[in-house]
Amino acid sequence: MSQPAPQPIRLGVLASGGGTNLQSIIDACAANQIAARIACVLSNNPDAGALQRAARAGLVHECLDHRQFSCRQDFDAAMVARLQHHQVDLVVLAGFMRIVGPAFIEAFPQRILNIHPALLPAFPGLHVQKKALDYGVRFAGCTVHFVDGGVDTGPIIVQAVVPVLDNDTEESLSARILEQEHRIYPYAIDLFARGALEIAGRRVRIRAELAAGPQPTLIQPPLPR
């Protein structure tokens, strides 16, 4: 029995690239699949496709080009100021390619999520789809986690698994993972919005009774050869 939707929380989505994760969140909000609304979209990259997607969706969007700031701390402070101005409840990193510092994290304690295109703790950092392919793993996937002071080390909320095929390229594997990212990120954000996430040390407990519905399928079986 799903719970009635609570008052929507306000999201601040940070993106540096094309914004397909942002688009999946935009679409999920429009379909009332997330108990949230996007208050603003911020990017560090003036050329980010995410800014164009935000504009098309009629969303508040701003670029704070990190290259215009004298240091990482000043950039972080400016981002925090904009997020607080827009009264953001949850910061959603959606392909945001800057490491946020302690002051940013202190401003939003346990209220910053990130999506990573690997099954953490395997393959943190960048270019991880290629790293997984080169390593020879049989399964890959993606992870939604809380952001903490480390990089890709925060408590894990949801993961999805995809098979790695013998003829996979970095592009084909990235595309397969991205499809799952677009499914699990809206789901994870909605769990947070409904107060269904409880952090206990490294572990995150999902209170199913507060979720909107059943957990989506998270393990993609190997494709027929």
Ligand X SMILES: Nc1nc2c(c(=O)[nH]1)N[C@@H](CN(C=O)c1ccc(C(=O)N[C@@H](CCC(=O)O)C(=O)O)cc1)CN2
Shortest spacing between CB 223 and ligand GAR, in angstroms: 20
Among 15, 147, 193, 197, indicate the residue that binds ligand X (CB under 6 A): 147
By CB under 6 A, is residue 20 in contact with ligand GAR? yes
Examine the residue annotation and report whether 116 is marked as an active-site residue of this protein.
yes
3-state secondary structure at position 88: coil
Known binding residue 99? Answer is: yes
CB atoms within 10 A of CB 143: 25
45 binds, among ligand GAR, ligand X, none (CB under 5 to 8 A by kind): none
For the segment 103-142, give every residue that binds ligand X (CB under 6 A): 114, 116, 125-126
Rounded Cα distance between 200 and 203, Å, is: 5
Query: Is-cis flag, bond preceding 121, omega within 30?
Result: yes
Q: Which of 61, 66, 116, 145 is catalytic?
A: 116
For the segment 178-217, give every residue that binds ligand GAR (CB under 6 A): 178, 181
| 9 in Cβ contact with 40 (< 8 Å) | no
151 binds, among ligand GAR, ligand X, none (CB under 5 to 8 A by kind): ligand X
- Residue 190 is given by DSSP the state H
Instruction: Please work out the total of residues on this chain that contact ligand X, with binding judged by CB under 6 A.
Output: 14
Residues paired with 10 in a beta bridge: 37
Known binding residue 37? Answer is: no
By CB under 6 A, is residue 192 in contact with ligand X? no
By CB under 6 A, is residue 175 in contact with ligand GAR? no
Rounded Cα distance between 159 and 141, Å, is: 7
**Exposed/middle/buried for 18, CB within 10 Å: 0-12, 13-18, 19+?**
middle
By CB under 6 A, is residue 116 in contact with ligand GAR? yes
Helices (H), 31-169: 49-56, 72-85, 102-107, 128-135
| Residue numbers at the binding site for ligand X (CB under 6 A) | 93, 96-100, 114, 116, 125-126, 147, 151-152, 154
Residues classed as catalytic:
116
